[in-house]
Amino acid sequence: MKQPQYDSGRSALIFTDRYLDITPYDIGEQRCPPFHFYGPAVRNYWLLHYILSGKGSFEKDGRTYPVKEGQCFVIRPYETTYYRADEKEPWHYLWVGFRSSLALPERFAEQAVIFGPVVTSVFERLLAICRDGSDDSVMPVTALIWELLSAFCRTHPAHEPKSGEQYAALARSYIEREYMKGITVAELAERLHLDRSYFSTVFKKYVGVPPQTYIKDMRLSAAAELLAKGGYSVALVANSTGYTDCCNFSKMFKERYGVSPNRYAEYIGETTHEKTD
C-alpha cells in the first residue's frame, strides 16, 4: 500500500516596509502528517490558512471549528489559536500572513472559518509564487492579498444596512469620482437604494450641505482648477465638469466666482505672469 507523502513545508519571509496599508509578512505551504498541530499561540499579524486538500480542526475563543478543503480559517492579530490536522485525512494547506493599517472586511471579525470558492484562484496563484521561490515576490503577493480581501467582500449580502454616516461617505465618494459625468441627486439616491428625500436629509446632516450644493461646488471648483491651468476652452471645461450647457455653466461660474470663465482664466494668467516677471 502506497504511503501518503508528508513534508515539513516551504515558506518565505517576505516582510517589507515599502507598503503601508497592506504589509506582506510571510507565505508558505505544508502537507501535514496525521494529528500535526500548532499552538496554542499568539501572533501580532493576520494569518490566513487555505485548505488545499484534507481536513482538520481550528480552535479559538473556546470553540472548535471543523475545516476542510476549499475553506479558509482566519487568525487575527493577538488572539490565541490552536489547529490540528485530521487523523485519517490530514490537511495540506497554504498560508499567507500580513499586517494591515486598514479596517478589514467585517467578516474577518465575525467568522473564524470562511468557505471561499470565489478566492480559490487567488490562493492558487499565491501557491505558485510560494513554489517559485522568487526573491522579488513582495509586489505580486501584496496585489493578491488586496484581491483576496476584495473577493471576500464580494461574498457579502448585496445590500447590507448602513448607518447614515456611511451612506453620506459613499455618496461623497460617488460624487468625487463621477461629478464630471453629470451625476444627479436622484441617481445617487437610487444607487444607495434610498428615498431621495431621506438621502438628502442624511447627506446634509453628515456633510453640512445638501447633495446638490456639494455636487455644484465640486464641479465649479474643478472647473476653476482647469481654467487656472490655461489652454482649455470654456466649452471643454464645461463638458469636463458635468455641464452639457455651456451658457448655464458660465452663469453658474459667474455666480460663484464673480467673473465669467473667460475673465477668470485671463485674470489667473495675468497674475501668474506678474509673479514670474
* 39-70 pLDDT per residue, tens: 899 988 888 898 989 999 999 989 999 999 98
Residue 37, beta-bridge partner list: 84
Grouping H, G, I as helix, E, B as strand and the rest as coil, residue 252 is helix
* 123-175 pLDDT per residue, tens: 787 887 777 766 667 787 878 778 877 766 654 444 455 678 888 988 998 89
pLDDT level of residue 3 (50, 70, 90 thresholds): very low
Quote the pLDDT of residue 178.
85
pLDDT level of residue 109 (50, 70, 90 thresholds): low
Grouping H, G, I as helix, E, B as strand and the rest as coil, residue 262 is helix
**Mean pLDDT of all residues belonging to the chain:** 81
Is the pLDDT assigned to residue 2 strictly greater than 50? no
Quote the cell numbers at residue 185.
Answer: 441627486
Amino acid at 223: A
Question: Domains (ranges, CATH) in the chain?
Answer: 10-154 (2.60.120.280), 164-276 (1.10.10.60)
DSSP E strand boundaries for the chain:
10-13, 22-31, 37-42, 46-53, 55-60, 63-68, 71-75, 80-85, 92-100, 113-115
* pTM over 0.75, yes/no: no
Quote the pLDDT of residue 131.
78
For residues 180-189, give the mean pLDDT.
Answer: 88
Task: Give the residue, 79 or 6, on which the prediction is more confident.
Answer: 79
Per the listing, cell 508558505 goes with 28
Task: Give the residue, 118 or 123, on which the prediction is more confident.
Answer: 123
